[in-house]
Structure 1
Amino acid sequence: MLSPKLVRRSVLAAVRRHHSSAPRSLPSAAYTDPARTQEASTSGTPYDISEAQRDTLHAALRVDQAGEVAANYIYMGQLAVLGRDRTTGPLIQEMWDQEKKHLSVMNKLQFQHRVRPTVLWEVAKVAGFGLGAVTALMGKEAAMACTEAVETVIGEHYDDQLKELDEMKTSDPSIPLLKDVIREFRDDELEHLDTAVEHHSQRAPAHALLSTVVGAGCKVAIELCKRI
């Protein structure tokens, strides 16, 4: 019997597959389309929010940017080891390509909202690459288990951010767009999670232990990047 979390993932995957063939403009296109760089939603930042809310906004974007840096280097590390595998290599490359877009958009959001990046930027690169490479050396299933654990934490983290942003009442159009971008990226991350499960992440040796360690590490990194 599937756990509630697995059922939720399966439902989300079915919804995404149902809508994937329909043409639609993704929220992130506001940051990838050069013609839209001067729109109010992509060039401004809210001034009608409290200092506490601004701190929340800055902490959220600081963490998201650092998380996308780490994600890029995790997939880079995995691809360095498993890139020649005919099945796993293209799969990792596809997920990495999506993370590259995420990072590009987060970099633009950081600049737009004048957010100070975390000083742990270089640490995120090294730790991400090391985690990706080490789990890939443990085997394809372990690499997928790493992805499953990371994306589970990130998906939940994005959900928490959306709740915080829902409480941020502002007339500035940048916040509604930011929420839409976060929803898009959350769904992308959950799709990576689904992909990892479909490719036998739960067959990895010591899957429960590996998931616990990686997930706990991600949660610690999130709290550190919020503050530093």
Structure 2
Amino acid sequence: MRSKSVESMIRVDHAGEYAAVCIYHGQGVVFSRTRDADKIQEMQEHERVHFRYFNNLILQRRVRPTLFLPVWHVAGVALGYVTAMMGKKAAMACTAAVEEVICDHYSNQVAQLDDSERDLSDKILQFCAEEREHMETAISCGAEE
């Protein structure tokens, strides 16, 4: 696969995982003293692992990160906070919707990667499975209600 396409994937995934960490941070602020705090914190930790992986790839491959990280920070925290303030079901609906988009995005990326990017493809598949778990957790917590 062309190097520029892979660089773009890494850049987008890096930004997306950063935004996910921020969304869960916003939700965590609201739910910090509830029985759902552990669930939010666990999902956020998965996103931190994903972000660190892509951050390391950014550094190793010398990929320019997006200039919009500060925007993703503010937008992500705000989205998480506002939906959590609307209630648990609204926060879980946000989580389910975001994770569904990410799963589709990751599936499309894997379909584009060739054998020269097997490690990246395998990692994306792993992350996609974890994102799907987050989506299922959100649905079981009332996202569809």
TM superposition score normalised by structure 1: 0.62
Q: Which of 177, 180, 200 is the aligned partner of 2:122?
A: 180
CA distance in 1, matches of 2:125, 2:55: 17
Please state how far the C-alpha of 1:77 moved relative to its aligned partner: 0.2
Corresponding residue number in structure 2 for 1:78? 27
Percentage of matched positions with identical amino acids: 46
Question: Which residue does the alignment assign to 1:197?
Answer: 139
Q: How does 1:6-155 map to 2 (within 5 A)?
A: 53-86=2-35, 88-155=36-103
Q: How far has the Cα of 1:89 moved from its partner?
A: 1.1
**C-alpha root-mean-square deviation of aligned residues, in Å?**
1.0
**Structure 2 regions of 5+ residues with no counterpart?**
none
Higher helix share: 2
Distance 2:31 2:47 in 1: 18
Letter in 1 for 2:20: A
Structure 1 distance, partners of 2:122, 2:140, is 27
Larger Rg: 1
Unaligned 5+ runs, structure 1: 1-48, 204-228
Structure 1 stretches of 4+ moved >2 Å: none
